[in-house]
Structure formats: structure tokens, C-alpha cells
Structure 1
Amino acid sequence: MSRLAWRSQMEKPQHAFSLNYAHRRGVWLGSAIVLIALIVALMAGSSALAGPSQRQTDNILRIGYIGQPDSDLARGLDLAIRQINESGGTTGPDNTSYFYQLVVAEVLPEETEAIPEVLQALTNAGVIAIFGPDSNDLALPNVEALSAASVPVLTGATSETLYNADTSSNIFRIVAPESTYSDALASYLVEVLEVQNVVLVQTDIVWTEATVSLGNALGQEGAEIVATIQMTDNTDLPNQIRTLPELNADAVIMYGPPQDAYTVFTQLQSNNWQGRFVYRTGQQAVLEGNLFDDERAAGIIGVDSWSFGANDALGSTFTIQYVTQYGMIPGPLSVAAYDSLFALDSVIRVFGTDAAAVRAGLSQLDIERLVRGPADPVVTDSRDLSQTAIIYELTGSGGVQAVAAYDNGELR
């Protein structure tokens, strides 16, 4: 393996260190280059990632992240670190003062084979906790490696199977499990909108667990699933949905890529269907493209761990701060990272920086309110730092409006 090298960056406006493989040469893992680096410029040209100033370098706590340096999760961590450092840093139980520094292990979404090596590299870099991977696709094939890491791992993966092979209880989830989003949707559709019969459509195999979970939740609420269309890809989608409007369902619920969702939605619209269209990741589609940005999309329902359409004071303040810093609208994982970094900081203030103590502290968290809701795994007897789901509607103008929240099994 190539050696790790430290290089001083004291001449930079944001003073930090750079960690890389063998003088910036990539390490080939299969067909992918994995580069681990402390990012000193998160956005091209202007906004550098947070790091301690030159007078702050004596006591640094390094936070690792596995993923893309320009991701929502990376920016959420960066914003929290900036705010903590600018307010004077943090203090451990022995009154030692610390400042945080973010170390990013850049891994592409398809580089599942890279995770064990970057975990070791981050550990060697002296991080006290590791955030990521962001998704089920990266996390699930590497649960054993994440479990074996010497520091706690906080991931955005939603799969119910995440903890099955975590024999050391080292993995924590910074968003709710997928069943929470299913329960939230089912409760809202049946209890609030009085939906009685539903069609489920799935066009990507990665959403199989979610589709099954929602079907079960709807059944428990007393709704009838009149049809389920499940495909591994969209090859036969137009033919499969041709007669969909004739089913007269109160709601059609879609899991799959945005283009597939748009195809199903327009098919229903062209036949004057009057039911409710539900797209699990509708907010993400709005943020990433322009498929659902006209008036026809008004009223499409979605659910996620947070929504920029939330109109509460904490959410609004966070959105303003994020837009001011990065010039873009925050996504759900940015808030998950932001909240979780502050939760981790509260643990360090009481329990210290030892890995075992941090694990214990994370399991005992009972914070009544962060930006998106409570962080209280001690209440739910889990390692999920959040059990919150936000149900929202698209406004039809590229906007989103939160309509309900679901916390620890209760709709509000």
C-alpha cells in the first residue's frame, strides 16, 4: 500500500493539513482511483472547507467522511464545524479545548471495493469518528468493515438490514430507517387524506425493500393495494403502466429514478386521473433537475428525513445559513450531517474522545430538538440518531412545502 503523507498548508487562508496517498498519486482499486485528502476548497474557487486557524492547531479533533467532497453530507459537516470552531471550539470533560477538522476520503458511489482501504487510511489519519457512506449501495456490502473500524461510523444508509452484521455495535445511522418513511407515508395517506386503495410502482431494484415496507405499512393502516408493478429496469415501463389510470386508485406511489417517475406521472395526467401521486424522492428530483418544476407537479407527495420546505424557525435559519455559505439549497443529508455533528460534539463534551466512550455516548443521546427533530436513540433503544420523517408536497414551481412530520411513531 502507498504510504500516507502529511503536508503543511499553512500558507492557505484556511489553515489546514493535507493528507494524501504518495504525493497525490492515486491508489488503483479495480478500475477506480481512491484519493483521500483533506479538502481545502469545497466549492470551486471560493469557499474553503472549515479548518482550525494557525493558533488553533494544538488540539485538533479530526472528523472523517467517506464520499464526495461536494456532497450535501460533506457540506453539512463543514457548516457545523465552521460554526463550532468560530464560536471557540469545544471542550472535553477534562477541560481540554479542541477545534474540529474535516478529512474527506473521496469515494465514488460505485466504488464499493474502496471502503475497507479508506477506512484504514482515515483511522491512520487519527479521526475520532467517520461519517458515511451516504447510501445503502456503498454501506451494505461493507458492513463488516464498517463494524470493525476502530472509531464509530455514522452513515446515511436507510436499510433495515444495516445492523445485521454489525457485531461490534460500531455503526450508527444519522437518518431514520426506511420503515420510518413507510410508516409516515402510510399514516398520512390513510389518516389525513383518507386514501383507501393504492397502486405501487417500482422501477429500480434498489427500492425493493422500501416497496415491501410501504406495502406492509399500508396494510396495517387498512388500505388496499390494488396492484403492484415491480420491474428491475424501465425497459417495459410504458406498456406496464398503459392501463394504470383505469384502476381508479386513490394514490399511485412511485419508487425509482426521476425520469421513470415523470413517465408514470405524465401517463396518469394525460388520462385525467384525479388521485394523489406519491414519489418517495420527489424533493431530490426537484433539487437535481427540472422534471417536476411546472404547475402540474403541484400536490405531488414525498417523504424524507428533512425538507427545505419546512417553515419552522430552526429549519429556516439553517437554510439561510447554508444558502449563504454555499449558494445552493440544502438537501436532507446536509441537515442529517449538521445535526449529527452537533450531537457528536455534545457527546465529546461529556464523554471525551475515546472511541468506546463516544460509542456509549451516542447510544445514550437524548436531545429534544435539533434542526429536523429529536436525536434520542436512548428513547428508541436503537443506534438511529433520528426517527424523524418529513412529509412534503411539491408546489409546482420548483418549491416544496412540508405538510406533516412523523417523530418516533407519531404523526404531527
Structure 2
Amino acid sequence: AESDTAHGASMAIEQINKGGGVNSADGVYQLELVTLEAAPTEQSLASDIDTLVGQDVLVLLGPDSNAVLTPDNIALLLDTGLPVLTPATANSLTDNDDTNSLFRMRAPEGLHSSALAAYLLEDLELTQIALVQTDVESTEALALFENELIAAGAQAAAKIQLPAGSPLSPTVQELGGINPQAVVMWGAPGDAVELLEDLRAAGWEGRFAYRHAEEASRSGALPDALGEGVLGVTSWSFGYTGDVSRIFTRDYVQKYAAVPGPMSVAAYDSMWFLSVALRNQSVDANTIKSRLLNTTPPTLVQGILRPVDFGNGDLIRIVMVYELGPGGGPQVVARYDDGVLLTGGAQGAAEVPTPTPTPGPPTDTPAPTATLEGNYARVTVNRLNVRSGPGLEYDQIGQVEANELYEIIGRSPDFAWFTINFNGQVGWVSAEFVTVEGDLGSIPANELPPSPTPALSPTPTIAPTPDLAITQVQLNPTQPIPGQVFTATVTVRNNGGGAAGAFVVQGVFQPGPVIAVANIEGLAAGAEIQAQLTGTLANSGQWTASIVADETKVVLESNEENNTYNLSYLADYPIVANQTNQQITANTEWDLYGGTNDIVWDGFNIGMVNGAKIAVLSGFTYENSHYELINPAQITQTGLTTEQVTSGAIFGIITAEGQRAIMRVDNRQDSTIFVSYRVYN
């Protein structure tokens, strides 16, 4: 089907094939994009998967929508055994993927919420922020944003959640009475426009943020005059002024006569990343999945794709906050990578740091002193390798020094490498470590040289070297308790043929970070040792720790790529009651824990008694829920209607005794429900 995702992927594939295709271990391949006649829906995805698998595809691209990716549909995708590249942003999308098959092409929704909250709270220094939601699909995004406010010590001035199609006039009146400094909106574009128009007509002058402001402006739903000053957040915006981003936007507009959106860029980058991952590799599903997780991070249009740092299938975690101008165009005001503000982010500048050059002896290629004609690359690191082709697998043919200037004579199709005139021959340098002086758009694309084939030669005698790898990490307790000391037992093995000297094992645990270090005196070839890391966590949550052997890189190893072990874990407080699939019949009143009844089920509705409270929660699974998600400030209802008591629904509860609890409806059959719940101490 025609879509932004298909357009971005198609443009990348066309460029890859024009540059010679993909040189794999099995031969040279041309990529082909196989599309469906219509975008998949929640109901059609099963048959759509069968259609694509029947055409012998090796990678699945999509679905684009969070709504399509239900647990059942995710299971169907995983059952194919194929790698799945999706631009969907649901926060828990990759949490239960034990097969490493799901790859998220854009930052998760939580980082979008985090970036927007950080910009409002820290950059604009706003404290009175109201939240409005008018669609079910945005429940997770709102909850994640509110969690960010709470984590920063703030609280929403108002939280208004309306069913789709509800009148907005009462909301305008409520917000007018509060007069917040900012309103953050999730919902359909028409609702956002109506709410903003009515607020402005009522005299409200605060800041308005809408999750999909740029898309609403591009589609014409948000008028330019009304939209001026509206904030939005996205994984990529055509308002980002990075060099490669500008070239991509120009090429996309020329090809499709349309401005690219975040889906286009995500698909474009993913196809180029796929081509890099396939170089010199066998073309099969398992190899592709492994390479997508472990390939050296390339710099593409969105920024640096570095799944090896995340370990959960996320390819990139860059998010941009933007502001709409008087003509509806976005200007990027802040960029974040995995929640960290990037330097130069306010102008969308590149985040690669420029080290202070180390002066060296005069070179044979002096920098021109007059006005430059043509395009030049200025080296921004102390010393940069020049290679025979665009990749680390090509031979090194020399080096260039900091601040030296070389004429650019071409580029790779993805702008990741430039060719320079190096001592009379063509050399390739990484675009990540140079700045371009000239017109980047005028640099022609080079045909890529053949992948290097190692020549047969006698095997040299090499001194045995160590190879440190972490084989296992065990937590005690397996579920750390906030405020109590935990221990991580890290097993390190030397797989190499040489002994390793002294080194450090370091673990970075969340939330925090909590950094724990153990010193190892040395490790013989083939030997194992256990290091003990201890720490104390401040809060509950689903987290990932990064544990590194030889964190300071003092041991020269035969393989430096296997030193990191990513450990996912749930930190949570102790529970005093844990029930699974308990049957509750009509007209039952029961006590979760503590001796006082909390809930009444009449066969249709849930009522709370003896001061107990309840609320519907979303944005996570029952298995991944934890103590901090049950916020007493949000658990304020005295009952739920029959429409809210559905299979799979998750409720936060404050019991009659004041304890936090979480409950899931496992099934509902007429007037009988089956529930699982746990109560915290």
C-alpha cells in the first residue's frame, strides 16, 4: 500500500540497488520491497502475514500502528521466525520478545513523553501543566507523560480524559477556571484544533502542545495562524537541519512531491541499516536478527542507530521537540538521545563532539587560504583512518590529522562516507568525523568498490591474547527490593588463549544510575571468576542494567565486542497477597487482604467499600506492573461501570487498609469474572 513507510523504504532500496546492491557472503543481492494492497488492520494482520510469508520475504516491515500490535498479533509475527522492523512506538512492544525478532525503528513512546515533559519543565520552566486526552489509543502516552511529571516532582494541574466524540466545551470551561501555563493534548487532530480554537477564543494565552502537531499542520487540519507556537514531539522532523537530513528531505520531495514524515525516515534508515548488517554475511533470518542487534552503529538521517547499546531491539532512541512557525513549518528546539539532551539540540545541530586538535607537523596537503572552490572535508578528531572503501572491513591506506582539509570527490549513497583525494589516490573517510565545507547537496554518489576478499596467505604466528566475556549474571534477590541491598554475581570467562591482567567489572543499574564496581586481579586463559556487585535501588520499575567486563579497556583482547551483558529485571516492593484467576460470581463482596472488605461485584459493575478506591490503568502489562505505577493521587474512584470491566483490563486499587494493589480481569463470562491480583506490603 502507498504510505510514508513504503515511500521511505522504496527510496532507500532504489539507492542501495543503484549502488550495486548488497555484497553478502552468498553473493550480491538486489533488495525488493513487497507491499500489501491495503494497510493491515488488527483483524487482517493474520492473513496479511500469510500473504507476505508466502512470497518468501526475509524481513517484515511494519505494522505502523500501535493499535494493530495486540498481544495476539505480536505472537503471530514472532511465530514467523522472521525479523520484524516496525515504526510503532508502544512502550512495552519489545518487552516480551525473547526471540530478538522485533526491532523498533523509532524511539519508544515513553521517550517522546519524557522529552516533551523535560522541555516544558526545564527549558520553558513551566509548572502548571494540564493534560487532555480524547482517544483511547493515547492512554499510554498520557500515563507516561504524567509519570514524567511526578518523577520531576511536579503534578498535573488537571487531567481530563474524554471518550471519543465527547463535547469539548466543558473542558474549555474547566481549563479556563484553572488557567494553566500549558495544555498538553492527545487525540484526533480535529479535537486538538477545536480545543485550541476555543481556548484562544476564551482568552487563554498559555503554551499548547500536541503530540502530532506537525502531521496536523502538514495535512491542513491545523491552520497556520492558529498553529503558530504550538509544540510537538516526534522521532524526526523535516525541520531538523542536520546535513544528511536536509539532503534526504530534498531527495524525498523531488521523488514524491511531498514532505517526508517520521515514518518515511524510519523506514529509509532501517533499509540502509539492513544493507549494512547484511554485508559479507549469510542471508538468513537468524543471521539478519543477530546482525541487526550487533552491527557497528552507523550514522543515518535520524542520527546514530545503536541497537547494540540497547539490547532489546530498539534501533534508535532519538526524539525531537519542535515548535510550529507562522507558516506551519516546524523548527526543532531540542533533541534527545535516550532521554539525554544532545548538544546543539536547540538548532538541530549534529551532536558529534569536536575534540581539540593536536597540532602536528606540516602536511603535504596544506589547507587553502583563499575562498574554497568545491567541497572539502575538515577532520574533527586527532587522527582519522583513510580506507579503500566505505566500511571498517576495507583496508586502511593511511591516516589524516586533526583540522586538515581534503577535497571531497564523492560520497556513499547513504552519506555515511566521503571519498577524498588522498595523496593522489581515492580514499574513504567516515562522515561522522569530518565537517563539510561547501555544498553537501552537490557531492555526487560514488559506485561502491567490491567488498574486500582476504587474500590467501600463510597463517602468521600470533601471540595468544585473552578474550573476556560475561557468561552469566545472577541477582539476589532475583527481584530487587527498593531500599534494600541487592547483589549481582557476575561470571566472567576468559575465552582467549592468553592470560588477562587486572581489570574492572562495572555494572550500571537503574533507576539511578547505581554504579557498582569489582576489581579482578587477573584471569588465566580458559578460566572463570565470579565478581560481586552490590547496590541499592531507590524505586520500583522494569529496568535494564549494563554490565561490562574490562570497562576501562586496559586488557588487549582478541574480541572487544563481547564484553557487555545487558540484564533486564523488575525491581519491586514485597507483596503480601497474590491470587491468580480467582472466580468471582455476582453479588460477591470480598477482601483482597487485611480483614476488611474492599470490593463488591454485582454481576455488572464494581463498587468499592470501606473507603477503598480504584482506577483503570494502562500502558503496561500485569506481569510488568510494579508498586510505583499505583499512584494514590490517581486512584480515586469509588467504582467502575460494566463497560470498564473487560477481559484484560488492569485496575489500580488502594485497599480499605490503605495498601496498594493491582488487579487484572483475566476473563468475563456473563455475570462472572475471573481476576488475578496482588497486594503490596
Q: Normalised by the shorter chain, which TM-score bucket?
A: 0.7 to 0.9
CA contact (8 A) 1:302 1:393 kept: yes
- C-alpha offsets along residues 152-205 of structure 1, whole Å, 9 cap, x if unaligned? 111121112323443433111111110010111111111111111210000001
- C-alpha offsets along residues 371-403 of structure 1, whole Å, 9 cap, x if unaligned? 011111111222011101111111131211111
Aligned residues: 341
User: Match of 1:266, as an amino acid?
Assistant: E
1:308 aligns with one of 224, 234, 238: 238
- CA shift for structure 1 position 268: 1.8
2:276 aligns with one of 342, 346, 349: 346
- C-alpha offsets along residues 257-287 of structure 1, whole Å, 9 cap, x if unaligned? 0110011111221132222100000011112
Partner of 1:86: 18
CA contact (8 A) 1:204 1:231 kept: yes
Return closer, same or farther for 1:346/1:123 CA change in 2, 3 Å cut-off.
Answer: same
User: Match of 1:343, as an amino acid?
Assistant: F
Aligned equivalents of 2:218, 2:198: Cα separation in 1: 23
Return closer, same or farther for 1:367/1:164 CA change in 2, 3 Å cut-off.
Answer: closer
Question: Which one has the largest radius of gyration?
Answer: 2
Q: How does 1:1-16 map to 2 (within 5 A)?
A: none
Return closer, same or farther for 1:102/1:368 CA change in 2, 3 Å cut-off.
Answer: closer
- CA shift for structure 1 position 353: 1.3
| Identity level (%) | 38
Partner of 1:238: 169
1:175 aligns with one of 87, 101, 106: 106
Partner of 1:149: 80
CA contact (8 A) 2:107 2:235 kept: yes
Aligned equivalents of 1:355, 1:180: Cα separation in 2: 29
1:285 and 2:216 correspond = yes
1:254 and 2:185 correspond = yes
Gapped runs of 5+ residues in structure 2? 343-681
User: Match of 2:214, as an amino acid?
Assistant: Q
- Which structure shows the bigger proportion of residues in helix conformation? 1
Aligned equivalents of 1:197, 1:210: Cα separation in 2: 19
Aligned equivalents of 1:71, 1:221: Cα separation in 2: 38
CA contact (8 A) 2:238 2:245 kept: yes
Q: How does 1:6-405 map to 2 (within 5 A)?
A: 69-94=1-26, 96-108=27-39, 111-140=41-70, 141-294=72-225, 296-405=226-335
Aligned equivalents of 1:163, 1:107: Cα separation in 2: 25
Question: SS of the residue aligned with 1:374?
Answer: coil
CA contact (8 A) 2:216 2:222 kept: yes
- CA shift for structure 1 position 337: 0.2
Partner of 1:409: 339
CA contact (8 A) 2:217 2:328 kept: yes
Question: SS of the residue aligned with 2:224?
Answer: coil
TM-score (normalised: structure 1): 0.80
Question: SS of the residue aligned with 1:136?
Answer: coil
Return closer, same or farther for 1:91/1:128 CA change in 2, 3 Å cut-off.
Answer: same
Aligned equivalents of 1:359, 1:307: Cα separation in 2: 28
Gapped runs of 5+ residues in structure 1? 1-68
CA contact (8 A) 1:147 1:167 kept: no
Higher relative contact order (CA 8 A, sep 6+): 1
Answer with 191-200 or 158-167: which moved more: 158-167
Aligned equivalents of 2:106, 2:177: Cα separation in 1: 37
TM-score (normalised: structure 2): 0.49
User: Match of 1:119, as an amino acid?
Assistant: I
CA contact (8 A) 1:77 1:341 kept: yes
- CA shift for structure 1 position 350: 4.2
Partner of 2:388: none
Aligned equivalents of 1:378, 1:314: Cα separation in 2: 23
Aligned equivalents of 1:190, 1:157: Cα separation in 2: 27
- CA shift for structure 1 position 107: 3.3
Partner of 2:406: none
Aligned equivalents of 1:257, 1:117: Cα separation in 2: 29
Question: SS of the residue aligned with 1:113?
Answer: coil
CA contact (8 A) 2:101 2:313 kept: no
User: Match of 2:91, as an amino acid?
Assistant: E
- C-alpha offsets along residues 48-77 of structure 1, whole Å, 9 cap, x if unaligned? xxxxxxxxxxxxxxxxxxxxx210000000
- C-alpha offsets along residues 336-382 of structure 1, whole Å, 9 cap, x if unaligned? 00001111111111433110011111111342521011111111222
- CA shift for structure 1 position 255: 0.1
Partner of 1:35: none
- Which structure shows the bigger proportion of residues in strand conformation? 2
Partner of 2:434: none
